[in-house]
């Protein structure tokens, strides 16, 4: 039986690397192409990672763990009020859930394909599959409930 693995893009050269699940945080993983370290923070950073239409598939659909995606607009007041909550949750769930943000003013293709009509919109993915969605700014406790549902 093969060990579970994930695909991690190297932050230095962009090469895709298959990483065994049991090596997720050991700090010894290196890129197969350029031999640069693949930091554990790349897998589950302690703050949201900015993605684009071009990186969505690799960062979200190709990720073998839970991911929260925030579709936001910098001009949106609700998004601005939700940002500190997401930063706090990203820190609290570091090592467990990956948090990413996509600015729909700059990158609107994925938002359009996913049927995002307003901001903030939060999508919850697990193993590349959409499992939940929340539209609008909701209280922290509601987000925690959705995040806990991702782990199950």
Residues 6+ apart with CB under 8 A from 137: 78, 79, 81, 82, 120
46: its two tokens:
């302690």
76 is a catalytic site residue: yes
For 21, 24, 97, the CA distances from 5, given in Å and listed in that order, are 5, 9, 16
79 is a catalytic site residue: yes
Catalytic residue among 10, 13, 31, 79: 79
Q: How far apart are CA 142 and CA 152, in angstroms?
A: 16
Instruction: Name the residues annotated as catalytic.
Output: 76, 79
């Amino acid at each position: 039986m093969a060990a579970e693995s994930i695909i991690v893009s190297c932050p230095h050269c962009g090469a895709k690397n298959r990483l065994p699940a049991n090596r997720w945080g050991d700090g010894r993983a290196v890129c197969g192409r350029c031999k640069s370290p693949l930091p554990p923070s790349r897998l589950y950073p302690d703050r949201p990672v900015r993605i684009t239409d071009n990186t969505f598939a690799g960062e979200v659909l190709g990720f073998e763990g839970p991911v929260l995606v925030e579709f936001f607009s910098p001009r949106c007041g609700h998004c601005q009020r939700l940002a500190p909550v997401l930063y706090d949750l990203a820190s609290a769930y570091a090592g467990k859930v990956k948090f990413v943000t996509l600015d729909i003013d700059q990158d609107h293709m994925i938002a359009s394909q996913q049927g995002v009509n307003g901001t903030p919109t939060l999508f919850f993915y697990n193993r590349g599959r959409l499992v939940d969605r929340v539209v609008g700014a909701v209280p922290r406790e509601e987000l925690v409930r959705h995040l806990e549902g991702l782990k199950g």
